[in-house]
Chains A and B, each alone.
Chain A
Amino acid sequence: MKPSSETRPSAAAKRQRLLEILRECGSVVVGYSGGVDSVLLAKVAVDALGPAHVLAVTGKSDSLASWMEDTAREVAHRFGIPWLELRTDELADPRYAANPSDRCYFCKSELWSKLGELARARGLRVVVDGSNADDLADYRPGARAAAERGVRSPLQEAGLTKAEIREWSRELGLPTWDQPAAPCLASRIPYGLGVTPQRLRQIEAAELALRALGLREFRVRHHDSLARLEVHPRELPLLLARRREAHAALLAAGYARAALDLQGYRRGALNEALAPRALVQLGGPA
């Protein structure tokens, strides 16, 4: 029987539950990417526990886009969230650099290991991440790494959806409330094509140049010498109006050719290369 609206927790009940979870934790290290979810989590944690019991940490590597790093820093400073950056070395792991479909597992293993060590060194009890309730339906090999290392996902445990997180962020005045999803730069490289610092820098240069033209909801997918651009339909008129500039920008970033995907921007597009069986074997949705 389908649950009635009376049995589904309200957004207010979920917010209360999040506060309870954070108080259970007592003190936390937050895996803080500067994205919508982790920013809200860090802010609410500081409000609930006090700044002495919260540390937001951004894992810094060549996979971190500079604009995300800037957002992470600026929001932390503006809202009084204790923050630091910690160098991660996932690129030195050949299992990660080979770029298999479970690449994120190796990246998050490195991140959560380092954050766990930091938490112990600082006397902070629990490492938490910004996974939300909607993420349960996504293909996320990194979630396995989190579970293996005892990382909690308070937003997910409280049942908070992306929409509810954005709404709460907006109420709190967080500038990230309407920020588009922002996975790491390695997500632009098709599985099987190695992740290298050079490719990551090329992708970052290309996306920075397109952001300078005013685009926000897009991805530059890296296919060797070809940049395949996925643009959200609502930004297509802008892209077409500045087509020649966009083309020049992508060539200046080092691509020999640049093309616009006919299907537009879609999250997880590179996962379309995975057969359903492979997704199930890796612990993802069938």
Chain B
Amino acid sequence: MSGIPPADPRLPHARAALAELGVGGTEVEVAGHEREVALLRAPATEYERLLGEAAPEIAGRLRELGFRYVALELAAGDEP
């Protein structure tokens, strides 16, 4: 029997939403004890856009998918 947990059905929609919003290079995964966090990882060059005026819209789109919180990793995509 496989020990691999099933993929979160929200993730493909989250990736599609991010691509629509022009931040398609951003990775997204699920975190938290209730899988309540959409955890984003992006190159440092994308931080200004992700945390700037587009932040409410990005957060809103992902919350519509059922995530309670949307957060951007402090370690940028190209950092350990």
Contact = CB atoms under 8 A, between A and B. Distances in A.
Contacts of A244: 74, 79
B74 A259 contact: yes
Contacts of B33: 190, 192-193, 223-224
Interface in A71-92: none
Interface residues of B, number: 25
Contacts of B74: 229, 243-244, 246-247, 250, 258-260
A278 to B, nearest CB: 14
A261 B75 contact: no
B32 A260 contact: no
A240 interface: yes
Interface in A122-156: none
B31 A223 contact: yes
Interface string A245-270: 01100100000011111110000010
Interface string A193-237: 100000000000000000000000000010110101100000010
Contacts of A223: 31-33, 36-37, 69
Interface string B2-37: 000000000000000000000000000001111011
Interface in A110-124: none
A258 B73 contact: yes
B73 A259 contact: yes
A24 interface: no
Place the interface of chain A in its size category. Answer: 20 to 34
A261 B71 contact: yes
Interface string B60-80: 000000001111111110010
B23 to A, nearest CB: 11
B57 to A, nearest CB: 10
Contact of B34 (A192, A257, A259, A269): A192
Given A223-B36, A226-B39, A263 B68 contact: no
A286 interface: no
Contacts of A236: 51
A192 B32 CA distance: 12
Given A240-B47, A247-B75, A262 B70 contact: yes
Contact of B36 (A190, A247, A250): A190
14 contacts: A193-B33, A223-B37, A226-B31, A228-B37, A244-B74, A246-B74, A257-B31, A259-B40, A259-B72, A260-B51, A262-B55, A262-B58, A263-B59, A269-B69
Given A190-B34, A258-B75, A263-B56, 13 more contacts: A226-B31, A228-B37, A247-B74, A257-B73, A259-B37, A259-B71, A259-B74, A260-B71, A260-B74, A261-B71, A262-B50, A263-B55, A272-B68
